[in-house]
Amino acid sequence: MIDLELDEEYQQLVDTVREFANEVVAPVSAKHDAAHSFPYDVIAQMGQLGLFGLPFSEEYGGMGGDYFALALAIEELGRVDQSVAITLEAGVSLGAMPVYRFGTAAQKERWLPALCAGEELAGFGLTEPGAGSDAGGTQTKAALDQGHWVINGSKEFITNSGTDITTLVTVTAVTGTKTRPDGTPAKEISTILVPRPTPGFTVEPAYNKVGWNASDTHPLSLKDVRVPEENLLGERGRGYANFLSILDEGRIAIAALGTGAAQGCLDEAVAYAKTRTAFGDTIGSNQGISFMIARMAARVHTSRLAYYAAAARMLAGKDFKTEAAIAKMVAGEAAMDNARDATQIFGGYGFINESLVARHYRDSKILEIGEGTTQVQLMLIARSLGL
């Protein structure tokens, strides 16, 4: 018999993060969303709780946990504030994890302790104006010159790239050409660590986004940026392949975020349906409303099972690419569908930005786009079926 109950250690983590989300994150979420301000105090307290170090070894100041622990924490944060949840997800999965997975001993010692403590943040510069889902279309270039990489190009939609505590952005760049097995030429794409500040590396003004307003997101420009040759992260020419493996893991974390958002919408809808009266009775007694909420509950349940299953395969050392794609797609759609339904249930109150369901309505759409669109997930699933 399969047991899907969390063990005591995982459950203690969930309980701790849930209490933190309710008592620390939720009370200031509307304020930061309205002001488009980064919640530095909240992030500092998350660092003190050890959330940024959850999946990293104690050698580098981490908590010695695993990726599933990170996903559980992200789910609880995503329930009340997606901006805070994505700050953690991107800071760990896209910021620190590439250094942990592919960095040299010196790179790990230099960067990981502060990243694990949440005292510093890192971003990952992959997306470009002409290279999003097709990251192989990277145009940014890097060439060696007297022991330094000289980088020129631009990046878009880079999370955690412009905060006051951002000290590092890893960028993908074309460092040459290579030959495919069939003899045709291809771009050699590598990843390079670019500290902040570095001359020529400019963080452009933040985007005015539809949602995730308290999350830090900027375009970046790199003009003759020089960094030491030893800032190459991992093997030269393996940058794209390495990032794809990071993205597979990240999809589990994004699925956890989507599950949390869907759960938050469900919680709000249930509470409102039990107290809001119309025509002499609570609206939850209306079958049209109760059935809508029942479907919301089913979506939460399904998306949670999907990311649990993907995480279980990952921790067991099995291939999990397809399961991660399924989880990411299912959870992103669950978050968007539940946000729409919760907003409908709340009526006019759901159209007010200060309400949690309104924020989820604006925030959730990006879960069907970021870290691989729904269409990309469908493509990956179809390929796994031999199509």
Q: How far is CA 52 from CA 108, 121, 237, 351, 356, in A?
A: 15, 9, 29, 34, 25
What single-letter DSSP state applies at residue 128?
B
**Stretch (H or E) spanning 109:** helix 105-116
Gap between the Cα atoms of 377 and 372, Å rounded = 7
Give the pLDDT confidence score for residue 2 in this predicted structure.
64
Q: Which residues, at least 6 apart from 231, have a Cβ–Cβ distance to it below 8 Å? A: 149, 192, 193, 194
Q: What is the pTM of this model?
A: 0.96
Gap between the Cα atoms of 225 and 227, Å rounded = 7
Give the pLDDT confidence score for residue 137 in this predicted structure.
83
What average pLDDT is seen over the chain? Answer: 95
Among 75, 120, 128, 371, the active-site one is 371
Which domains, from first to last, does the chain contain? 8-121 (1.10.540.10), 122-236 (2.40.110.10), 241-384 (1.20.140.10)
Active site residue 333: no
Q: Which among 204, 257, 249 is positioned nearest to 21, based on CA atoms?
A: 257
pLDDT tens digit string along 38-94? 999 999 999 999 999 999 999 999 999 999 999 999 999 999 999 999 999 999 999
For the record, the structure tokens of 129 come out as 């104006």
% of the chain exceeding 90 in pLDDT: 90
Name the one residue in this structure whose structure tokens are 């105090």: 41
Provide the residue type at 23 as one letter: E
Gap between the Cα atoms of 83 and 198, Å rounded = 27
Gap between the Cα atoms of 120 and 233, Å rounded = 19
How many other C-beta atoms lie within 10 A of the C-beta of residue 275? 10
Give the pLDDT confidence score for residue 336 in this predicted structure.
98
Question: b or e along 182-213 (b: 16 or more beta carbons within 10 Å of the residue's beta carbon)?
Answer: eeeeebbbbbbbbbbebebbebeebbeeebbb
Peptide bond into 197 cis (omega under 30): yes
Mark the ranges of the chain whose per-residue pLDDT is less than 50. none
